[in-house]
Amino acid sequence: MFCGIDLLFAGQAAALRRRLRNSKVGCLTHAAAVDRRGIRTLEVLEELGASYSVIFSPEHGLDGVAQAQESVPHDAGQIASRLGSRIISLYGSDRESLAPSDDSLSETDLLVIDLVDIGSRFYTYAWTAWMTIQVAARRGIHTVILDRPNPISGDPATLEGKPQNKDHLSFVGLEPLPIRHALTIGELLCYLASEAGLPLGAQGALSVVRPAGWERHRTAHAWGRPFVNPSPNIPTLETAIVYPGACLLEGTNLSEGRGTTLPFQTAGAPFIDAERLASDLLSQGVPGAWVRPVSFRPTFDKYANEVCHGVMIHVTDPAIFRPVATYMALVALAHAQAGDRFQFLSQVYEFETTRQAFDLLTGSSEARRAILDGGRVADVVQMVAPVDSNWRSMVTESELRADSATA
């Protein structure tokens, strides 16, 4: 399998290579974006003759070391110090920091984006890219996406998690979209651009260098290259597979395993009965996974240095595992077991102050209210997990749009 940066370096997309050499290039990327040799995209583009006007970094920073929701300063990290170029963080301390200013692109002729996405609406990299593209388009700057496959597969049958209500849009979903969307980042951005009326293709606002040799229905296990962690708490492919459901725990006082060696696969709290939660979850049915009771002690984040009890999710068959349904059931069962000790969090979440985090993640307040009212677990899951089959055509259409938007 070859990513967009691999094909560009190998001599394909000759017109784009010439355009790179003759432009002042802005680049939005991070340390996880590497080619088949393990060389970062920033350095590969330099090899091809690119001259940078500005470099943007997303959440977690250019080096990829900042924790979730940790503001990242400009010009941060070792990579920045070696490049000798202006580094602007697009994840600062307020909402305004999430998009580049017009001035930051004043010396840019061409914007290149290479980010490692993991196929979930919650993952903020695609939204950073979308906001950056919109600013570039207003200034008449063309954007090139160096595309990468969806590591948890692009099978439309895996779509899961209803799109959010219009009044629940946020930085974990700026536009209505299924939680697990089955798109590459290039396909997703082509979908958003088309919906916004931006023209695609080399002469339009957005073009794409598509991956080659990707089998859409398979995960990154089939790529023939290492899985590079795109953020501190996505260390493995299995973590990425559970993430579209496990991220829901961020809206609760259950630990999502941050501060352990198995984040997101691990879930629990000091007040949980691990054996009961594992048994109850298995009784709901968890196809494609093992569920086992565990105890763990996070070193940071929720319950730092406290012993927690809960469950570990081991994915055995990614094709049939449904992360959103699994973790929605887990949350409902944890509340049923723990009562008032279980809580939905209400602090600021991804710069949002008026909506609870769980509501932003699920897309409405419906499921949270049903859980608090003691609703049946199966009914709660049905409020969030199923996606209207019409969204499958969105995946097909977005694939065709990205294929036709050749850089």
Q: What is the pLDDT of residues 231-246, one digit of tens each?
A: 999 999 999 999 999 9
User: What is the predicted pLDDT for the residue at 260?
Assistant: 97
Residue ranges of domains in the chain: 4-149+184-231, 237-384
User: What is the predicted pLDDT for the residue at 8?
Assistant: 94
Instruction: Provide the pLDDT confidence category of residue 206 given band limits of 50, 70 and 90.
Output: very high
User: What is the predicted pLDDT for the residue at 84?
Assistant: 66
What number is the average pLDDT over the span 358-374?
Answer: 98
4-149+184-231 and 237-384 share one fold: no
User: What is the predicted pLDDT for the residue at 126?
Assistant: 98
Instruction: Provide the pLDDT confidence category of residue 318 given band limits of 50, 70 and 90.
Output: very high
Q: Residue 79: is its pLDDT beyond 90?
A: no
Q: Residue 392: is its pLDDT beyond 90?
A: yes
Q: What is the CATH number of domain 237-384?
A: 3.90.1150.140
Helices 185-195, 391-404: inter-axial angle, 10-degree rounding: 100
In angstroms, what CA-CA distances link 5 with 17, 71, 144, 285? 11, 28, 11, 41
Q: What is the pTM (predicted TM-score) of this model?
A: 0.96
Q: What is the CATH number of domain 4-149+184-231?
A: 3.40.50.12170
Report whether 242 contacts 236 (CB < 8 A).
no
What number is the average pLDDT over the span 104-130?
Answer: 97
Instruction: Provide the pLDDT confidence category of residue 85 given band limits of 50, 70 and 90.
Output: confident
Instruction: Provide the pLDDT confidence category of residue 364 given band limits of 50, 70 and 90.
Output: very high
User: What is the predicted pLDDT for the residue at 356?
Assistant: 97
Range of lowest pLDDT (12-21, 352-361, 395-404):
12-21
State phi, psi for 24 to the nearest 5 degrees.
-90, 115
User: How far apart, in whole angstroms, are the C-alpha atoms of residue 259 and residue 56?
Assistant: 28
Structure tokens at 40: 């970062």
User: What is the predicted pLDDT for the residue at 407?
Assistant: 86
Q: Cα–chain-centroid distance for residue 119?
A: 6
User: What is the predicted pLDDT for the residue at 82?
Assistant: 72
